[in-house]
Structure 1
Amino acid sequence: MRDARNIHEVSQLGIDWIGLDFIPNSERYVSQIASCAGIIPDYSSLSDLSSDKLSQQKKGPVLCGVFADDMPQNIVTRVVNFDLDVVQLNGEESMVMIDNLRRTLDPDIHAGIKIMKRIVITKREDIEKYKEYAEEVDYFLFDIQENLKDWSILEAYDGKVPFLVSGNIGAEDIENIKTLSHPLFYGISVNEKFESAPAVKDIALLKDFLEKIK
């Protein structure tokens, strides 16, 4: 998400996490505002929430920043400026990079920061890719691609790290969500099918969906 008012409205629906996209070529990219201060160079572009500032919403949704093959210093800056709780890595990040990122952030910059690694699932064998990162991350995001759309493959996951599921999820996936019984299934990530415009969630559509899956 990107619009401050829309974020506030969605947070009232009882959702658990809000994603902020920091991948530069994304149409949902969340920009920063130059401070010209020469220290930490940018401010959060969402700081105009006034009394509803994200820093005051910590009793509400977790803030998850989405990155892909970004430089660690860029990730650290955004963790500070946007007060992120989770760093989601969508690229080809190595285990060494992830370990260094965590050591940089925790505890000096953000104690207890969580890291989530996205695994793209195009075939059943892809579920095994989690093993490369199992010792380095706090969550996996299994992104089931359109060519597969077979949630039963998630039952093959035998790791110990909780996972979320994404993959252009819509109302047609409600039954899949309700029937997924894996003990480490942590949640779902919804995106395009609940937008009225890029990075803007349709409140009524999202509310109806949430009511149906609960």
Structure 2
Amino acid sequence: MTRDDAFPIKICGLSTPETLEAALAAGADMIGLNFHPKSPRYVTPEHAAELAAQARGRTGIVALVVDFTPQQAAELAQIVRPNWLQLHGKETPEQVAAIKAATDLPVMKALGVANAADLDQLALYHGVADAILLDAKPPKDAAYPGGHGRPFDWGLLAGLDPAFRFMLSGGLDPANVVDAIRITRPAGVDVSSGVESAPGIKDVEKIAKFVRAARSAAAQLKKAGQA
């Protein structure tokens, strides 16, 4: 999956060479480029291609799209050349499979969680998506998907099969990521607004603090599992 398959740490919504470099320097295993026009983290395909070139060979490149058609996804993949596609809309399992076929890329499907019933959808995507990202459901009036800086109830994941691998997102930040990892035992973590000074403006120091905290918590999780 990444240069550190054991526990990937993803910094999403990067939009400048400086903050991308900060994520790389911090040791992020994946970086995300957001292609949803209503998001404050939106980047054009042309700008994203420049950022991707800066990151290529140094970390995993993820293109975040929302309800793209297979053709749209294929056209974006040709321009940006990401390592992964992250589908953050209402894509059905059939649409996920079609996008995989059209792009020949691994796909991470983001699923919003607000209550226990939302976890029922996991079975639908098992074996279709290459990875699952559990994110907080957005507010009903939100203009774009994602947790909008607010975590969901991590206790909802207590009943998941321990063997089920997922990445955790939604309201994570340097202050709470250690608890999030300890409680949910994810296979990796994904952060965006939690390392920003303002919507869409990444904070270099927060990126470094987040990666350090997540890496330390992941090491403790691994140590506990081996005990």
What per-residue deviation string (whole Å, max 9, x for no partner) do you get for residues 159-203 of structure 1? 866311111212332342341464xx2211111121134433211
1:139 pairs with one of 119, 131, 137:
131
- The count of corresponding residues between Structure 1 and Structure 2 is 191
Q: Which residue of 2 aligns with 1:128?
A: 120
Q: C-alpha separation between the residues in 1 aligned to 2:164 and 2:69?
A: 25
- Inter-CA distance 125–60: structure 2 relative to 1 (3 Å threshold): same
Kindly provide the amino acid, as one letter, of the partner of residue 209 in structure 2: D
| Alignment check: 8 A CA contact 1:65 1:84 kept | yes
Q: C-alpha separation between the residues in 1 aligned to 2:172 and 2:65?
A: 20
Q: C-alpha separation between the residues in 2 aligned to 1:174 and 1:105?
A: 33
Unaligned segments of structure 2, at least 5 residues: 1-13, 138-146, 217-227
Q: C-alpha separation between the residues in 1 aligned to 2:60 and 2:160?
A: 25
Q: Which residue of 2 aligns with 1:110?
A: none
Look up the SS of the partner of 2:132 in the other structure: strand
| Alignment check: 8 A CA contact 1:23 1:66 kept | yes
Q: Which runs of 4+ in 1 moved over 6 A?
A: none
- Higher relative CO (Cα under 8 Å, sequence separation at least 6) belongs to 2
Q: Which residue of 2 aligns with 1:153?
A: 156
Higher helix share: 2
Q: Which residue of 2 aligns with 1:201?
A: 202
| Alignment check: 8 A CA contact 2:113 2:135 kept | yes
| Alignment check: 8 A CA contact 1:3 1:199 kept | no
- Inter-CA distance 153–180: structure 2 relative to 1 (3 Å threshold): same
Q: C-alpha separation between the residues in 2 aligned to 1:10 and 1:129?
A: 32
Q: Which residue of 2 aligns with 1:13?
A: 26
Q: C-alpha separation between the residues in 1 aligned to 2:118 and 2:58?
A: 34
Q: Which residue of 1 aligns with 2:143?
A: none
Larger-Rg structure: 1
Q: Which residue of 1 aligns with 2:44?
A: 31
1:177 and 2:180 correspond: yes
Q: Which residue of 2 aligns with 1:188?
A: 189
Segment of structure 1 superposing worse, 204-213 or 86-95: 204-213
- Inter-CA distance 46–4: structure 2 relative to 1 (3 Å threshold): farther
Q: C-alpha separation between the residues in 1 aligned to 2:200 and 2:103?
A: 27
Unaligned segments of structure 1, at least 5 residues: 33-43, 107-112
Look up the SS of the partner of 1:93 in the other structure: coil
Q: CA RMSD, aligned part only?
A: 2.4
Kindly provide the amino acid, as one letter, of the partner of residue 25 in structure 1: K
Q: C-alpha separation between the residues in 2 aligned to 1:105 and 1:161?
A: 26
Look up the SS of the partner of 1:74 in the other structure: helix
TM-score by length of 1: 0.78
| Alignment check: 8 A CA contact 2:49 2:81 kept | no
- Inter-CA distance 98–47: structure 2 relative to 1 (3 Å threshold): closer
What per-residue deviation string (whole Å, max 9, x for no partner) do you get for residues 20-39 of structure 1? 1111222211113xxxxxxx
Q: Which residue of 2 aligns with 1:45?
A: 47
Q: C-alpha separation between the residues in 1 aligned to 2:163 and 2:97?
A: 18
Q: C-alpha separation between the residues in 2 aligned to 1:181 and 1:77?
A: 36
Q: Which residue of 1 aligns with 2:64?
A: 66
| Percent pairwise identity | 23
Kindly provide the amino acid, as one letter, of the partner of residue 152 in structure 2: K
What per-residue deviation string (whole Å, max 9, x for no partner) do you get for residues 48-106 of structure 1? 5xxxx633633322111111112222211221211111111111112222212211222
